[in-house]
Amino acid sequence: MDFMATSQPTSPPLIPGTTAPQRPQEDGGGEVVLERVPKKVKPPQMHQVVMLNDDYTPMEFVVVVIQEFFSKDRETATQIMLKIHLDGKAVCGVYTRDVAATKVDQVLDAARQAGHPLQCVSEPIE
Ligand code: TYC
């Protein structure tokens, strides 16, 4: 009994770290070879979240925000807050673009809800 295929054949699964095979190539000896081309994987562009000083946001609020959203212990958060206070700004963390944008949103939301003018921005590095 003959059976007829009802769907297109699917591609073989990809080996992690490679791209899909190039077009089948005839190797000269009548064989068809599929060459796997190593994938060129670049690390993602990283973004630093920079917090800015102002004259009104309480130091304690900034310390808690840095602890909460940037996963710093209280001592580290206090040092970062003091650097912002003295230098005008400081980096609170480095993340991929979307994570950095989320951190900025979280900080701005918390500041707005508490009625403080605290500002922070995300900027690409390198
Ligand atoms: N300068 C603020 C004050 O004296 C404290 C402060 C620190 C505000 C860091 C913002 O990102 C900031 N109350």
Q: Which atom of ligand 1 is closest in space to residue 51's alpha carbon?
A: 11
Q: Which pLDDT score, from 0 to 100, does residue 15 have?
A: 43
pLDDT tens per residue across span 20-30 = 544 555 556 77
Q: Which pLDDT score, from 0 to 100, does residue 8 have?
A: 53
Q: Which pLDDT score, from 0 to 100, does residue 32 have?
A: 80
Q: Which pLDDT score, from 0 to 100, does residue 123 have?
A: 98
Q: Which pLDDT score, from 0 to 100, does residue 111 have?
A: 98
List for the chain the helix, strand, coil content (%; round to 5). Answer: 35, 20, 45
**What residue ranges of the chain have pLDDT lower than 70?**
1-28
Separation of 56 CA from ligand 1 center, angstroms?
7
Q: Which pLDDT score, from 0 to 100, does residue 37 have?
A: 83
Please give the Cα distance from 119 to 115 (Å, whole number).
12
Separation of 83 CA from ligand 1 center, angstroms?
10
